[in-house]
Chain A
Amino acid sequence: MDYQTPQDRQYTKSHEWVKIDGSTATVGISDYAQHALGDIVFVELPDVGASFGVGDAFGVVESVKAASDVYLPVSGEIIEINEALLDAPETVNSDPYGAGWLAKVQLSADASDLLDPATYAQHVAEEASK
């Protein structure tokens, strides 16, 4: 199974992606993550204005079978959430790196410990072969 890992962003071991643009960042879950979860039927997102640290659970995506926390790859304040997902959570399956983004964050510190696309692809290959 080949999973997409776009080159224009960074990743976490817990399968989130983050695209940093100056002092703001857009976050979502990876193609591998959406595939592993299966049909996504519900997305819970934080309130705009809420602040989180690196690795904090900031949202939940749910499949038919289970609910999974989503962890913030960076620290900062939520400045926008993807409201369209509340009515169309399946967009996270169909376009995880585009229309399926989850939230935008005003960074409160420089990002660190993120995985580059090649390192993340290697991590996914190891997970998938388990």
Chain B
Amino acid sequence: MKQTPLNARHRALGAKMVEFGGWDMPVQYRGIIEEHQATRNAAGLFDISHMARFWVTGPQSEAFIQHINTFDVRNTAVGQSDYGLMCYEDGGIVDDIFVYHLADNEWMIVANASNAAKDWDWLTQHSSGFDVQLTDRSAELAMIALQGPSAEHILDPLTSADLTALPFHGITASSIGTAQGYVSRTGYTGEDGFEIFIPADQAAPVWDALLDAGSAAGLQPVGLGARDSLRFEPGLPLYGHEIERDINPYEAKLGWVVKLDKGDFIGSDALRMIKEHGPARRLIGLQMVGRGIARQGMPVQTTDGQEIGSVTTGMPAPTLGQNLAYALVASGSVKVGAEVDVLVRGKPVRATVVKTPFYKSRYKK
């Protein structure tokens, strides 16, 4: 199993370790619920070095990114970043990505750990004909997320970056503790916060400095368990759940990431057709009424027993105190307010279709 540069830190902190996407990662330190609440109420520190970091450089880097990305990055200025999707020709999703514009003709793509090899192959394969250079800097850089309402207060004394001037989705080269790297105002929790990119051999001292600086404010290290519950409540998709090879962006309610007016890109023809005809399935939110927790793969049916889809993610939402779920169901089969049943271990458990997202993100705008 692969280890991040912070593996020994996680073990020293008493984390419970699990395998995730080929990596030995902390799933929790003091408990998922406690870590979740710490992030919502104060701040959480996440080792996300397992994610992939690919550099795109060269005179045609913007054109190449436009080709592989559904989003339009022409307005993503230097020092800004945007969420995007890489799609197959048929509109299915290769991965969701964050694209950072670091300098003229220099971009960074951050992608999911579990898709790293597939994404690298995809990018490499589709770069022919473009005057670009691709560099995989995943191993040479570590990535730490500091998220929560106290994140700015904790990070500010440790960085040369002017955080008050760093906008939502902004990124800037800066010092962080003893390291030189980048700080961005991005994250995956629905809270204000930062992602920090530093050389791998500097990860441990920077991690320690952040934990020290934040302890008085209630900062806690947060594992993958709470990372999942924190992204679940504000409705941020997770590959392998809400998005997947066989799920298109319109089904996943990510039509806003698909910019059909920007010109052709991989998958644009298929996506145009899907948009015209309407997606076959739609992601909905469910609140459990009966006793039971919906989990991925559980069938969803109408109250008269007709199967309409299945759960993509479900859990007891720590901030909201309710058993909630996302499900992908046949378009038009149910509306907000309707009752459905989730088959929990074969038994129908009543749920109500509710509006999404479940939690309103509190980004700095």
Interface string of B320-332 (1 = CB under 8 A from A): 0001000000000
> Do A67 and B295 contact each other (CB < 8 Å), given the known contacts A38-B16, A38-B225, A42-B316?
yes
Interface string of A49-93 (1 = CB under 8 A from B): 000000000001011111100000000000000000010000000
Given A38-B16, A38-B225, A42-B316, A65 and B32 touching (CB < 8 A)? yes
Q: Is A39 interfacial (CB 8 A cutoff)?
A: yes
At the interface, yes or no: B154 with Cβ under 8 Å from chain A?
Answer: no
- A64 contacts B316, CB within 8 Å? yes
| B293 & A65 in contact (Cβ 8 Å cutoff) | no
Contact of A63 (CB < 8 Å), options: B32, B292, B345: B32
Q: Which residues of A contact B318 (CB under 8 A)?
A: 64
| Cα-based distance from A54 to B25 in the complex (angstroms) | 35
Complex contacts, A44 vs chain B, CB 8 Å: 291-292, 345
Instruction: Report B-chain residues with C-beta under 8 Å of the C-beta of A62.
Output: 293
Interface footprint category on B: 20 to 34
Q: Which of B16, B291, B293 has the most CB of A within 10 A?
A: B293
- B315–A64 CB distance below 8 A: yes
Give the distance in Å from the alpha carbon of A63 to the alpha carbon of B91 in the complex: 35
Interface centre among A36, A41, A66 (most CB of B within 10 A): A41
User: Would A64 and B16 count as touching, CB distance under 8 A?
Assistant: no
Contact A38 B31 (CB under 8 A): yes
Residues from chain A with a CB closer than 8 A to the CB of B345 are 44, 60
In the complex, how many angstroms separate the beta carbon of A18 from the nearest chain B beta carbon? 23
* Partner pick for A64 among B14, B32, B291, CB 8 A cutoff: B32
Q: Are A65 and B27 in contact (CB under 8 A)?
A: yes
Q: Which of A1, A64, A67 contacts B225 (CB 8 A)?
A: A64
Q: Does B287 contact A (CB under 8 A)?
A: no
Report the separation of the CA atoms of residues A39 and B16 in the bound assembly, to the nearest whole angstrom: 13
Using a Cβ cutoff of 8 Å, how many contacts connect chains A and B? 41
CA distance A64 to B322 in the complex (A): 11
Answer whether residue B95 sits at the interface, using C-beta atoms and an 8 A cutoff: no
State the CA gap A27–B160 with chains docked (Å). Answer: 58
Q: Assess the A67–B293 pair: CB atoms within 8 A.
A: yes
Number of residues of chain A lying within 8 A (CB) of chain B: 15
Q: Which residues of chain B are within 8 angstroms of A42 by Cβ–Cβ distance? A: 291-293, 316, 323
Residues of B within 8 A of A38 (CB): 16, 28, 31-32, 225
Q: Mark B270-296, 1 if CB is under 8 A from A, else 0.
A: 000000000000000000000111010
CA distance A67 to B345 in the complex (A): 10
C-alpha spacing A41/B323, complex, angstroms: 10
Given the contacts A38-B225, A64-B316, A64-B318, A86 and B32 also touching, CB distance less than 8 Å: no
State whether the Cβ of B33 lies closer than 8 Å to any Cβ in chain A. yes
A39 touching B32, Cβ below 8 Å:
yes
Residues of B within 8 A of A63 (CB): 32
Q: Does B192 contact A (CB under 8 A)?
A: no
Cβ of B268 within 8 Å of any chain A Cβ, yes or no, is no
Counting CB contacts under 8 A, is B228 at the interface?
yes
Alpha-carbon distance between A95 and B318 when the two chains are bound, in angstroms: 22
Which residues of A have CB within 8 Å of B291? 42, 44, 86
| Residue B172 lies at the interface, judged by CB distance under 8 Å to chain A | no
Q: Mark A25-48, 1 if CB is under 8 A from B, else 0.
A: 000000000001011011010000
B27: chain A residues at CB < 8 Å are: 65
Given known pairs A65-B225, A65-B228, the reply for A41 and B316 (CB within 8 Å) is yes
Nearest Cβ in chain A — how far from B230, in angstroms?
A: 11
Q: Which residue of B lies closest to A69 (CB)?
A: B345
In the assembled complex, the CB of B10 is this many whole angstroms from the nearest CB of chain A, namely 14
Bound Cα distance from A41 to B31, whole angstroms? 12
- Shortest beta-carbon distance from A2 to chain B in Å: 13
Shortest 9 CB-CB contacts between residues of A and residues of B? A64-B32, A41-B316, A39-B33, A65-B225, A39-B31, A42-B293, A62-B293, A64-B315, A38-B28
- What would be 15 A-B contacts, judged by CB atoms less than 8 Å apart? A36-B16, A38-B16, A38-B31, A39-B33, A41-B33, A41-B316, A42-B292, A42-B293, A63-B32, A64-B315, A65-B27, A65-B32, A65-B228, A66-B295, A86-B291
A residues apposed to B, CB below 8 Å: 1, 36, 38-39, 41-42, 44, 60, 62-67, 86
Given contacts A38-B225, A39-B31, A44-B292, 7 further A-B contacts (CB under 8 A): A1-B14, A36-B16, A38-B31, A42-B316, A44-B345, A64-B33, A65-B225
